[in-house]
A and B are shown apart, each in its own frame.
Chain A
């Protein structure tokens, strides 16, 4: 089984800050990695697929990069509406979600 880890588990940042979340897979998953945003009480929303491809309609301040075992998700300029928990998800071997990173406004 492929295990996914994320860091940090939570963070607080100011509006306008650059925010970076990392996701690590327990084995090489090439670029089989997606990122989701989940706001409280809501269903998850796909933001990034195949590690770096922005889903249609998602603001360009969101981006992803990485390959192999190490991946990064970035919000270039944090906005109040970005308060949410962010999850990575691998699909190289079945499907596994990371534990999530909760993002708050400082």
Chain B
């Protein structure tokens, strides 16, 4: 079975950094693009970032471009999101999700999410 398990969330001060991880299992990790989608408390879904299966192509929402970095380690079957210069508006549950061989398409499997709270 496909499983995605996020970790790394927590409380961080404005301007701080945090790295999220997503451990993948049950599928050939390098064959699939992956992405991050977030959801602020009581709000809708917001796409954050995506990365190709090889890691050679990355995409970001304007709201996080220049502050967040998506990456993947195929040897560890793990997706990462390095979040820098965090702001209060980055507070959300962050989901990792599997896409297809196409980087920007649909997300067919999702993790359970990890909560990031940016507050002093």
Residue numbers of A with Cβ under 8 A of B are 1, 34, 36, 38, 43-46, 49, 55, 85, 87, 89, 91, 94-100
Contacts and interface: CB of A to CB of B under 8 A. Distances in A.
B110 interface: yes
B45 A38 contact: yes
A21 B107 CA distance: 20
Interface of B: 35, 37, 44-47, 50, 59, 61-62, 95, 104-108, 110-113
Contact of B105 (A38, A55, A91, A98): A91
A85 B39 CA distance: 13
26 contacts: A1-B62, A34-B106, A36-B45, A38-B45, A43-B95, A43-B110, A43-B112, A44-B37, A44-B107, A49-B105, A85-B44, A87-B44, A87-B45, A89-B45, A89-B47, A89-B106, A94-B61, A94-B104, A95-B47, A95-B61, A97-B37, A97-B44, A97-B46, A97-B47, A99-B44, A100-B45
Interface of B is mostly: loop
A49 to B, nearest CB: 4
A97 B104 CA distance: 13
B47 A96 contact: yes
Contacts of B95: 43-44
B99 to A, nearest CB: 9
Contacts of A38: 45
